Amino acid sequence: MRTHKITIAGLIMLLGAVLLMESCSTVPLTGRSQMNLMPESNMVAMSLTSYDQFLDTNKVSTNQQQVAMVKRAGRNISVAVEKYLKENGYESYLQYFDWEFNLVDDEVPNAWCMPGGKVVVYSGILPLTQSEAGLAVVMGHEIAHAVARHGNERMSHSMLVQMGGMALGEALKEKPNETQTIFSAAYGLGSQYGVMLPFSRQHEYEADKMGLIFMAIAGYNPQEAVAFWQRMSENSGQAPPEFLSTHPVDTKRIAALNEIMPEAMKYYQGNN
């Protein structure tokens, strides 16, 4: 009788395969499979720490008109997100969202959304959004990143590279500082601009599509997206705005938006 010995390396590979299978999830709306090793509750907890630190060191705007517009657009899109998730079998995602929308005084054209729905818009992007619909393009896109759990996916890949075969629970318990560091790196924190590290091109296109659908459900004309990105491109000059450095604009991206547009317009027309 032959006996089969399982080597330690083989066992690690087997456990890793099981972990990857158990960590696979599906992105709402697009249906793409992704790997999320981190419990979303941990992602939200770490994001709250970074979010509070950011607000403590940056000036929240007192421009009542602009603040009201940011909160109104954010509220409308968050309601649209919740409606879509509830109607399409992703209601469990909602337990992690506690929406909050802030406008900070900063000339940099930028915006971001943390896991859990903490959204920050920089005043410097408002001259380029030009209207509430233009602002909805930006906020819909950034919120889509959070809904799709792109940050978790990016951090999961980083953890695999940096921590190897260490069990997730052990990493969170034994190396909390290292885990927080990986989170901060995944979101580009520590920079004066907040969240700067670019998402992958796949994530960007995915957020574009999801953002268009969400803003359309919220009652904003998704056609404004093409006009907004064209304005961003035209105003980039020699030194592109910070938002452009993390959100590449090119003819392919605008072509992709136009390709998605008929589907997005169906949602818009169905809600108006």
Active-site hit among 142, 206, 224, 242:
142
Beta bridge partners of 24: 35
Q: List phi, psi (to 5°) of 2.
A: -90, 135
Q: Which amino acid is at 35?
A: M
Q: What confidence tier does 246 reach under pLDDT thresholds 50, 70, 90?
A: low
Domain extent listing, the chain: 24-270
* Per-residue model confidence (pLDDT) at position 13: 41
pLDDT-wise least confident of 48-57, 149-158, 233-242: 233-242
Contacts of 70 (CB under 8 A, 6+ apart): 101, 102, 103, 121, 135, 139
pLDDT tens column, 210-230: 999 999 999 999 999 999 988
Task: Please say whether the beta carbons of 222 and 216 come within 8 A.
Answer: yes
User: Has this prediction a pTM greater than 0.85?
Assistant: no
- Residue 142 bears catalytic tag: yes
What does 35-96 look like in DSSP terms, one character per residue?
Answer: E--S-HHHHHHHHHHHHHHHHHTSPBP--HHHHHHHHHHHHHHHHHHHHHHHHTT-GGGGGG
Report residue 191: phi and psi, to 5°.
-90, 155
33-91 pLDDT tens trace: 888 877 888 889 888 888 999 999 999 999 999 999 999 999 999 999 999 999 999 99
pLDDT at 8 over 60: no
pLDDT of residue 112: 93
The CA dihedral of 99, 33, 210, 242, to the nearest 10 degrees, is 80
pLDDT at 9 over 50: no
Q: How far apart are CA 172 and CA 176, in angstroms?
A: 5
Q: What is the pLDDT of residue 12?
A: 38
